[in-house]
Structure 1
Amino acid sequence: MKKLILLFAAVALATSAWAQDTPKKPSFAGFVSNGFWDNWEITVGAGAGTALSNGTNPGSFGNRINFEANFGLTKWFHPVTGMRIQLQGGRFANYDAAQGKMTWPYLFVHTDFMLNFSNWVGGYREDRAYYAVPFAGFGYMASNFTDSSHEDNLTGTHQSFAFTLGWLNKFRLSPSFDFNIELKGLIAPSRVSPVAMDGSYMFGFSATAGFTYRFNKRGWQRGVAGYTAADIQAFQDAVAASMATAAAMEVENAQLAQQLAASQAELAAT
């Protein structure tokens, strides 16, 4: 019983000292926070898109389809949450009452909040084959910025802020690579279009396919919420040291008891 009390006291002292000296790290749902250079992704894609207004949209929908390409860099802070910066660009097509079909280039750079819906609902699994990732973002769009488009469309460069919302479907090919299908839309003031629109807003819709490469640390480590793996190891070392100290104290107490018994025996003999 005495040994058990000494052990509990030693562990309590070690825990108290370690908790005071070790700052807590941010964590979420039992996962140890990763480093800045961990869990990064590079994504490239290409596909088709179209632009519509909330007013009338003359011309056939099929003739409005044009191309898009995109490049993105994503940092995951947790198996569920991450941030992405993406540059998308290509050409949109609209119809003008006087000039007919008009095409114009655009670039849209935006920062997106990424939510891994599959990990959120189903729990983190390193071997998961499919991830559903909705996202929402905000950025800056420029259109009709080339000399040839200035001449063709009889207007200059147009610029505006824009919002984006979409759904990224990720199919795991290997620990490093995913195949992606991304569906997204953007909304901006109609003035960003070089083609006159009778609506107040322009909506861009696109569907692209591409690949993701994950680099540096790719997985996630479960741990005690609020502490890193190094903190947990430090706690284990502190407990081991305290147990060793308790054992040494027990040996020292036994030796003192033996010396006291010997002294009492000598006194009784005299």
Structure 2
Amino acid sequence: MKRLFISALCAAAFTGAAAQEQHSDTIQSVYDTTEKVMYDNDKYKVETNHFWDNWFVSAGFGGQIIFGNHDKQVKFLDRVAPALDIAVGKWFTPGIGVRLMYSGLSVKGATQKEGHGEFPTHSTGVDVPGKGGDGYWLMKQKFKFYNLHLDALFNMSNILYGYNEKRVYNCSPYFGLGWTRVWESPQSMEVSANVGILNSFRLNDALDLNLDIRGAYVSDRFDGELGGRWGEGIWSATIGLTYKFKPRGWDRSKTIIRTHDRTSELKAMQDKLNDMQAQLAQRKRDSITVVKTLAAANFVIFKIDTWDLTNEARVQLSLFAETIKKADPNVVYVITGYADKGTGSVERNVILSKNRARVVYECLVNEFGVPKKQLRVDHKGGVDNMFYNDPRLSRAVITRVVEENDAQ
């Protein structure tokens, strides 16, 4: 038995390392986000099981027999008694589960008569037929008991051959510990060791037909008569049904990959800057008394809840700085920080917009040599969507020429 169990585990480990196949579904969603779902076709891999998944209850009825002190003196069929099983359990993976089971009703055997050893225990008052038609030194015995045991289940069909929800037959060896109690005097309470095989036959998604073959080992005190044995065994076989609660079964393992195309976002920003440049150019053409060379407005966006400049933003600022230094040195530019009003608190958005304006100012002055006298810093806190109804474009700093009225 031990070699068989080790071999099964080795086989499961080997097959689990076998080559895998995958297929994928690609979904194009709005905002230029592409979602790719990779399904793993390896039958040994499934999605993680949640706590309330794959619970079950079962009940069965059959027969059981005790192997006690006087087995040879009582016919085998006279020792068979009814057996009842009721259990609740859960499968954690397709191959490993646990259940709590009540097993019991009664057992039948034999006990010594008074005057032939110990006082008779659980006697029915009926003699066991003996030699010469005289009555024997034994009386028939019957008593009620229950065995409450916790079992670890191993579905070897899924472990060895992979998960298959449509498989008709599953073989699940199990073992566990329990607590037995004899109700009638003399009462007995003993620890039990349980081992067996649960044979399941699929009827539909919710129901299985079960053949449960089990053995339990208990102390020699179990039947109330000490006979010099190491212990006593109870063997049973029951047939019953298992109901599997929803959600039941396991989903295939999958990986989701999402990619975001920023092309349309950058195009919208560029269009906006072009519009601003066109407006500045028109102002130049409309100016009669004053002609100034100006740097076009600059637009820098930030990631949500940060004021860190990216390398791309620094490149934009370096080009903007070159234009400022070549343009009219008397022109003043205002650096205005913004935050997305729909994200974060009012206080947080004020901090974000203020710090975003500050880091742009420090970059232009300290890194690219723009004169401080040509720069002003301002912040607006959280604002409504400024461009294209997109909150991401409000997490920004805009640097533009100070209006005449503002400059005075």
Normalising by structure 2, report the TM-score: 0.48
1:181 matched to 2:211? The reply is yes
- The residue that corresponds to 1:266 in the other structure is none
The answer to whether residue 231 in structure 2 is matched with residue 201 in structure 1 is: yes
Cross-structure match for 1:89: 104
Percent identity over the alignment?
Answer: 26
Picking from 155, 158, 161, the partner of 1:119 is 158
1:193-232 alignment runs, 5 A limit: 193-224=223-254
State the AA in 2 paired with 1:45.
G
| Equivalent in the alignment of 2:263 | 247
Partner of residue 138, structure 1: 177
Q: Deviations 1:181-237 (Å, cap 9, x if unpaired)? A: 10000011111222443312111100000001111111101214xxxxxxx5xx54x
User: Secondary structure, in 3 states, of the residue corresponding to 1:217?
Assistant: coil
Q: Retained in 1: the 8 A contact 2:44–2:162?
A: no
Structure 1 Cα separation of the partners of residues 225 and 64 of structure 2: 16
Q: How far apart are the structure 2 equivalents of 1:185 and 1:221?
A: 35
User: Which letter does structure 1 place at the counterpart of 2:146?
Assistant: L
Q: Distance in 1 between matches of 2:44 and 2:270?
A: 47
Matches within 5 A, 1:68-87: 68-87=83-102
Determine the C-alpha separation between the residues in 2 that align with 1:203 and 1:248. Answer: 76
**Larger Rg: 1 or 2?**
2
Distance 1:218 1:32, change over 3 A: same
Does 2:100 match 1:61? no
C-alpha contact 1:137 1:163 (8 A) present in aligned 2: yes
Residues 55 and 198 in structure 1, CA contact (< 8 A), matched pair in contact too: no
What is the root-mean-square deviation of aligned Cα atoms in Å?
3.0
CA contact (8 A) 2:63 2:237 kept: yes
8 A Cα contact 1:54 1:200, kept in partner: no
Task: Specify whether residues 55 and 104 from structure 1 end up closer, same or farther in structure 2 by C-alpha distance, changes over 3 A only.
Answer: closer
User: Any idea what SS the aligned residue of 2:221 has?
Assistant: helix
CA distance in 2, matches of 1:39, 1:204: 30
User: How big is the shift at 1:53?
Assistant: 3.7
Taking CA–CA contacts closer than 8 Å with sequence separation of 6 or more, which of the two structures ends up with the larger relative contact order? 1
Cα distance in 1, alignment partners of residues 264 and 150 from structure 2: 59
CA distance in 1, matches of 2:168, 2:213: 19
Distance 1:71 1:56 in 2: 28
May I ask how many residue pairs the two structures share in their alignment?
A: 217
Question: How much has 1:255 moved relative to structure 2?
Answer: 6.5
Write the distance in 2 (CA, Å) between the matches of 1:89 and 1:46: 10
Matched, 1:101 2:140: yes
Structure having the larger proportion of residues in helix? 1
Contact 2:176–2:193 (CA<8 Å) still a contact in 1?
Answer: yes
Q: Deviations over 1:116-152 (max 9, x none)?
A: 1111111111111111111101010001x13xxx3xx
Residue 69 of structure 1 deviates from its aligned partner by 0.2
Q: CA deviation at 1:74?
A: 1.2
> How far apart, in 1, do the equivalents of 2:210 and 2:53 lie?
21
Q: Which amino acid aligns with 1:163?
A: A
Where does structure 2 lack aligned partners over 5 or more consecutive residues?
A: 1-32, 34-42, 114-137, 279-408
Q: Partners in 2 of 1:54 and 1:33 — Cα distance?
A: 49
